[in-house]
Amino acid sequence: MGHPTIENLTPFAFAPLFIADEEGRPIVVTIVKGTFDVSAEGAVTLAEEQIDIDFAGTPYGDPAKSSYRLEPETAFIKLATDCALLGHAVSPSPRIQMHVSFRVGPVSKTVRVTGDRVFKKGFWGASISSTTRFEKVPLIYERAFGGWDRTAKKEAHHSCEPRNPVGVGFAARHGKLVPDSPLPNVEDPRRPLTKFRGRSTPAGFGFISPDWQPRAQYAGTYDEAWTKNRAPLLPKDFDRRFFQAASPGLVAPGYLRGDEEVEVTGTTPEGRWAFQVPRLAAPQCTVVTRFGADRELTTNLDTVIVDSDARRLILIWRTYTELRSGPHDVSAMTITSANAPAPIVVGASRNTF
């Protein structure tokens, strides 16, 4: 049997994902991804080039040592909408500090961005250098509090900040001061790092990797009992909240539906950038199976990505259905959207959807 016939009647990218759920039951996940251009004035228009589904994910650098710019789009469900902001803190003139804020409907977050600073070694211990001025700083977790400290002689004393192993400024209990080691550029304004071996909160707007906290706590227990009695299925205590990949504070209390206000400050030359999420009907997917009736599926808007560098908005809708035995159960899939925009839409000061 060949692959199912796919008829995508929307202008968006689509891909099915054939995997198994927690109990090993075969399922097909339907993922629809819409890409939109957003002007400085807030006009939202359908992008001429639609970005494909990204099953591998896109890291900022070495996958083993960097954060995700775009998470792997392999979750079979999200219980609520993840919101993420990609871009830079942008200042119209050199400064040592500014605030960047991001709001999508009911969720919002603010970080403080500072110029470069380092720890200096002096007669009385560590001190913090003066702050350099900046005009542009990337809003990535590599510039936030966190990272590994391997300065102690004993390897057993090496440790990391589990909420952000790729960051800077973290010093372990037995760690030694390395002169000119950097402090974070991106911080929680309520808890900045003020001293060597101090503690702060990793701050950011991007995606959280699956082995970072707080995501990792929902992955379940992989112990000897799991190895003997459960593997290769997910652990019994696996929690679907694991699939939420947004930064803490940027997971909506449920699914967004479109028409939410988006406001970003501090990432574009004009200072404030605002627009609305398009009010679109959730894409529908008809799954034709070789056994039983057709499945009529309604997707949920579970990921909103705002890219202020590219002036781009990405929306991802997703749902899934169980199968009898696997991919060959599906003979055809049709994807529709009741009020999807035409391939090119000319907007005004607000979106036209």
Q: What is the DSSP string of 123-175?
A: TTEEEEPPPPPEEEEE-SGGGBEE-EE--SSSGGG-EE-TT-TT-EE---TT-
> Hey, what are 265's tokens?
């400050």
pLDDT the model gives residue 353: 56
User: CA-to-CA distance for 232 and 58, rounded, in angstroms?
Assistant: 26
Give the chain's mean pLDDT.
94
Q: Please check whether residues 127 and 183 belong to one and the same domain.
A: yes
Residue 47 near residue 62, CB atoms below 8 Å: no
Residue 268 near residue 47, CB atoms below 8 Å: no
Dihedral, CA atoms, 260, 137, 169, 188, nearest 10 degrees?
A: -30
Domain membership of residue 302 (yes or no) is yes
Count of structural domains within the chain: 2
pLDDT the model gives residue 351: 45
Domain membership of residue 133 (yes or no) is yes
Q: Please check whether residues 30 and 104 belong to one and the same domain.
A: no
Domain that includes residue 112, residue range: 90-187
Domain membership of residue 216 (yes or no) is no
Considering only residues 291 and 235, tell me which one the structure prediction assigns the higher pLDDT: 235
- For residue 58, give Cα distances in angstroms to 71, 316, 323: 6, 16, 30
pLDDT the model gives residue 292: 79
Q: Please check whether residues 73 and 94 belong to one and the same domain.
A: no
Considering only residues 261 and 353, tell me which one the structure prediction assigns the higher pLDDT: 261
Classified as helix, coil or strand, 15 is strand
Q: DSSP states of 22-90 as a string?
A: TTS-EEEEEEEEEEEEE-TT--EEE-SSPPPP-SS-EESS-TTTS-EEE-----S--SS-EEEEESEEE
Domain membership of residue 194 (yes or no) is no
Residue 230 is classified by DSSP as T
> Hey, what are 65's tokens?
């040592």
Domain membership of residue 218 (yes or no) is no
pLDDT the model gives residue 290: 87
pLDDT the model gives residue 125: 80
pLDDT in tens, 2-18: 688 999 999 999 999 99
Mean pLDDT, range 27-34, rounded to an integer: 98
pLDDT the model gives residue 156: 94
Q: Among the three residues 187, 208, 224, which one is the final residue of a domain in this structure?
A: 187
Q: Please check whether residues 128 and 176 belong to one and the same domain.
A: yes
Mean pLDDT, range 293-315, rounded to an integer: 97
Q: Among the three residues 154, 169, 187, which one is the final residue of a domain in this structure?
A: 187
Q: Please check whether residues 176 and 113 belong to one and the same domain.
A: yes
Q: Please check whether residues 73 and 103 belong to one and the same domain.
A: no
Domain membership of residue 192 (yes or no) is no
Mean pLDDT, range 309-330, rounded to an integer: 96
User: CA-to-CA distance for 263 and 212, rounded, in angstroms?
Assistant: 28
> Is residue 302 over pLDDT 90?
yes
pLDDT in tens, 240-265: 999 999 999 999 999 999 999 999 99
Domain membership of residue 110 (yes or no) is yes
User: CA-to-CA distance for 205 and 202, rounded, in angstroms?
Assistant: 10
> Hey, what are 328's tokens?
């060959």
- How buried is 216 (Cβ within 10 angstroms: 0-12 exposed, 13-18 middle, 19+ buried)? middle
Q: Please check whether residues 110 and 175 belong to one and the same domain.
A: yes
| pLDDT band of 117, cuts 50, 70, 90 | very high
Nearest to 29 by CA among 71, 80, 81, 77: 77
C-alpha of 279 from chain center = 22
For residue 342, count other CB atoms closer than 10 A to its CB: 8
> Hey, what are 343's tokens?
């391939």
The three-point CA angle 254-255-256 to 5° equals 120
Q: Please check whether residues 167 and 97 belong to one and the same domain.
A: yes
Mean pLDDT, range 201-227, rounded to an integer: 97
Q: Please check whether residues 32 and 95 belong to one and the same domain.
A: no
Domain membership of residue 76 (yes or no) is yes
Considering only residues 54 and 126, tell me which one the structure prediction assigns the higher pLDDT: 54
pLDDT in tens, 47-75: 999 999 999 999 999 998 999 999 999 99
Q: Please check whether residues 33 and 77 belong to one and the same domain.
A: yes
pLDDT the model gives residue 344: 46
Q: Please check whether residues 142 and 178 belong to one and the same domain.
A: yes
Mean pLDDT, range 119-140, rounded to an integer: 93
Mean pLDDT, range 128-140, rounded to an integer: 97
Q: Percentage of residues in the chain with pLDDT exceeding 70?
A: 96
| pLDDT band of 345, cuts 50, 70, 90 | very low
Q: Among the three residues 147, 164, 187, which one is the final residue of a domain in this structure?
A: 187
pLDDT the model gives residue 265: 98
| pLDDT band of 348, cuts 50, 70, 90 | very low
Nearest to 67 by CA among 203, 158, 249, 221: 203
Q: Please check whether residues 25 and 107 belong to one and the same domain.
A: no
